[in-house]
Structure 1
Amino acid sequence: MTNPPGTTTDAIREVRTATQLRDAMVQSLVKFGAAEDPRVVAAFRAVPRHLAMPEVDVTKAYDAEFAAVTKTDPTGVDISSVSAPRVQAMQIEQAQIEPGMNVLEVGSGGPNAAYLAEMVGKEGRVVTMDIDSDVTDRARTFLTATGYENVTVLTADAENGARHHAPFDRIVVTVQAADIPPAWITQLKDGGRLVVPLRMRGLTRTVAFVRDGERLVSDGFDLCGFVPMQGIGENRVQLAVLHDVEGEEVALRLDGHPEPDTRALAEALVMPRATAWSGVTLGGMESNEHLDLWLTTALDNLPLMAAKPGARKRGLVASASPLGVPTLVDGGTFAYRTVRATDAEDRFELGAIGHGPHGQQLAKRLVAEIQIWDREHRGDRARIEVDPAGTPDDRLPAGRHIERRHTRVTITWP
């Protein structure tokens, strides 16, 4: 077979390798349930995502769990990335996109806009926007190179949406948001779907909302992690540092939680541990995302504890997670969720570790809520509702209310 003019053996080999890796990525997405809709599967099989991240090894670019960081701020915080394929597929499944739709993507990068373009087809339209011109330049370059002509790239703060291109059937947000700007609701058709990584008391879930008049009502959510929103809507968590030795840092992530007594908590950190166990177990592959959402619904002062691996290695903490560990705080005492292996293969018992003068008492309190979740809510999914700020209490459902600038977010359980 004669090679096309202008091609080289290396170039052909690279295309074949990328195609094979893309097929393997898609098989992984299907296997783990991230991509179920045949049209989503086809979209992920069609887009050469590696071209959006030429600095990344092609094998890595097609790792279903790999998110490519494309920009950091002066402090080293990641502010732009190409999300992992699994997360992108998960959000697109949540959005339930149909051919011919008008879709807004908040937070650009390139590949995700291409997937959305595949979903809406030639009769549809995708608008992708980002506040950072470096990001939108990369997106334009990628979309031009890959031939997606039904995508409009905008450089603007998404706080105000894209009214000249509205109304939208779907809005897909690919950055962490602590609030929902009014424009995202008013520019969404009634009955339309907004998929957004919403941060609620420190916990981030990508939530599929359906617009019902002036409010949004959840229709499912999943655990996720995204870079934070920039611009007018920026609202980052605050860190309360308890231990600052390099490589062993321990801090609490505050998201509307009371300002803690960091000195007292730092002293508590090095006090002997008090442990309480719940008798409640999880399977090795079973997520604790619904448990954690229950805990933050039920308990008032529950920030997330972030700890570097060195802190766990040294024995300062027993649990460390990139997403943070729910931690109950009361004055100079704190207790956090933990697990231990059981005699049953691949099952772990949930418990709590307490530090400070009342460590045992606080650990038992945390364990009591774990037991309530197991007894009354295991298998349930919370409902998340977003209403405009200023909505009277008597018009909100009973539950945990989270106050933001534009909205009142309510978490309720069956």
Structure 2
Amino acid sequence: MNNALELDELRNQLLDEIKSKVSLTDPVERALRTVRREVHLPGATPAEAYTDEAVSIKENPNGPLPLSLASVPSLVAMMLVQLDAQPGDRILEIGAGTGYNAALLSELVGPDGEITTIDIDPGVTLHARDALNTEGYERVRVMERDGLKGAPEHGPYTKMIGTVGFWDLPRTLCEQLVEGGRFVVPLRWRGQTRSVVLIRRGDTLVSEGMELCGFVPIIGQDGERTTALMGDKVRLHHDQDLRFDSDALTDAFATPVTEVWTETRTGRRESFDGIWLRATVFEDAVCRIEVTKEALNDGVRRPAIPLRSCTLVGENSLAYMILSIDEEADPAQQVQLGAAGYGPEGAALAKKLADHITVWGADREAAPRLTVHPIDASDGDLPDGHVIAKEDSRIDLSYA
């Protein structure tokens, strides 16, 4: 088979797979069928370039996560749908990556639009520039910049998109968006990340939808901490405003576990991360628990997902999600969800988490309203919701 025809076939097969996961708009589908992903991934085989998986393009010698990553194509497509780029839009992309997303954006905004993509890593920007030039997207502006500062000299922008994970949103960056402009950003709070659609309303950003996602964190933000328990066999990954007593929580694991089961059931492939999202709207001390194989061998109750399960933490107690699988049940009902608690208040925390599971189970698509306020916003200016303080902003969450 001709190599070009083979690549076209692989690209179209990938699009068919993406369409089974994401409701694409016609412009986004046309862009995905037009831009050649393999050109942006010169080290990948055609099959790798057109598989719905992330591809590392720059490893991190100091950590487990790569410094730069070509995102999962279906995630790229989902965020482009969220962005709703139109002909003539002026867009700032934070995180240049391979240049693939910037090429897609260029197709969407057309000859009357402008794309500026920035990255702090000179190697990444060089790679993106070369790939974009090869494919004829010379009009895309590629800049070596700190993504937290943006590129104000080419703003203001009608739309902005982050292709790296943000723990906080600096005001200097948000001010580069026009009034009513749209910012799609992977935002992290309480251990989980959502691709949030934010609309600028004066000094605030108001959500207009959010979807589960995962991204390499942006360089320059370090808002999460890790508390080690049981000699580092169990770890709590949490926002910096939460402080935990590691000795008291280690002692909690010496107490009997309390299991609280709900009537909520899911299929084995169904995501239940919406429970985590819901918990962040009502609880302060929500975080991610990581339970190692050593802890499991010591008899610690297995979390729903050992590396990343929603956890509620008290002064000397904690509770996290658990599950049970019934192989004989209907495939859509095989997984039963519950909570396991340790410590003096473990049963009460497990009951609280189980209540969140039950409410989520009755309305699994419900998403809260998220509003980002400047850090110096007064309490009187905030809606009547649950507030999480960051360094540059205050996030208000509510189902109202």
The TM-score normalised by the length of structure 2 is 0.91
- Counterpart in the other structure of 1:405: 391
Q: Retained in 1: the 8 A contact 2:93–2:115?
A: yes
- Counterpart in the other structure of 2:26: 38
SS in 2 for 1:72: coil
- Counterpart in the other structure of 2:130: 141
In 2: Cα distance, 1:190 partner to 1:226 partner: 27
Correspondences of 1:339-378 after superposition (within 5 Å)? 339-342=323-326, 343-347=329-333, 348-374=335-361, 378=364
Equivalent residue in structure 1 for 2:8, among 12, 19, 38: 19
The 1:18/1:250 distance shift into structure 2, 3 A limit, reads: farther
Offset of residue 92 of structure 1:
0.6
Offset of residue 181 of structure 1:
1.6
In 1: Cα distance, 2:231 partner to 2:2 partner: 49
- Counterpart in the other structure of 1:382: 368
The 1:143/1:318 distance shift into structure 2, 3 A limit, reads: same
In 2: Cα distance, 1:14 partner to 1:378 partner: 44
Structure 1 gap segments, 5+ residues each: 1-11
Equivalent residue in structure 2 for 1:230, among 192, 197, 219: 219
In 2: Cα distance, 1:334 partner to 1:260 partner: 11
Offset of residue 390 of structure 1:
1.4
In 2: Cα distance, 1:165 partner to 1:112 partner: 19
| Partner amino acid, structure 1, of 2:158 | D
- Counterpart in the other structure of 1:4: none
- Counterpart in the other structure of 2:73: 85
Q: Retained in 1: the 8 A contact 2:24–2:78?
A: no
The 1:184/1:66 distance shift into structure 2, 3 A limit, reads: same
Correspondences of 1:1-400 after superposition (within 5 Å)? 13-33=2-22, 35-109=23-97, 110-231=99-220, 234-243=221-230, 249-269=233-253, 272-308=256-292, 316-319=300-303, 321=305, 324-342=308-326, 343-347=329-333, 348-374=335-361, 378-400=364-386
Offset of residue 215 of structure 1:
1.1
How many positions carry a matched residue from both structures?
396
The 1:145/1:217 distance shift into structure 2, 3 A limit, reads: same
Offset of residue 157 of structure 1:
0.7
Offset of residue 372 of structure 1:
4.2
In 1: Cα distance, 2:207 partner to 2:92 partner: 19
SS in 2 for 1:78: coil
Q: Which range moves more in the overlay, 98-107 or 267-276?
A: 267-276
Structure 2 gap segments, 5+ residues each: none
Q: Which range moves more in the overlay, 350-359 or 261-270?
A: 261-270
Offset of residue 36 of structure 1:
1.2
Could you list the per-position Cα deviations for residues 219-259 of structure 1 after superposition, in whole angstroms to 9, with x for gaps in the alignment? 1100000011113xx124211122567xxx53111113532
The two structures, once aligned, show a CA RMSD in angstroms of 2.3
In 2: Cα distance, 1:84 partner to 1:91 partner: 11
The 1:264/1:60 distance shift into structure 2, 3 A limit, reads: farther
Could you list the per-position Cα deviations for residues 127-151 of structure 1 after superposition, in whole angstroms to 9, with x for gaps in the alignment? 0000111111111111111111220
Offset of residue 386 of structure 1:
0.9
Offset of residue 401 of structure 1:
0.6
The TM-score normalised by the length of structure 1 is 0.88
Q: Retained in 2: the 8 A contact 1:60–1:66?
A: no
Q: Retained in 1: the 8 A contact 2:15–2:32?
A: yes
Could you list the per-position Cα deviations for residues 145-194 of structure 1 after superposition, in whole angstroms to 9, with x for gaps in the alignment? 11112201000112221111111111000111111122332211111100
Could you list the per-position Cα deviations for residues 29-59 of structure 1 after superposition, in whole angstroms to 9, with x for gaps in the alignment? 11112x5101111111112212222223331
The 1:83/1:323 distance shift into structure 2, 3 A limit, reads: farther
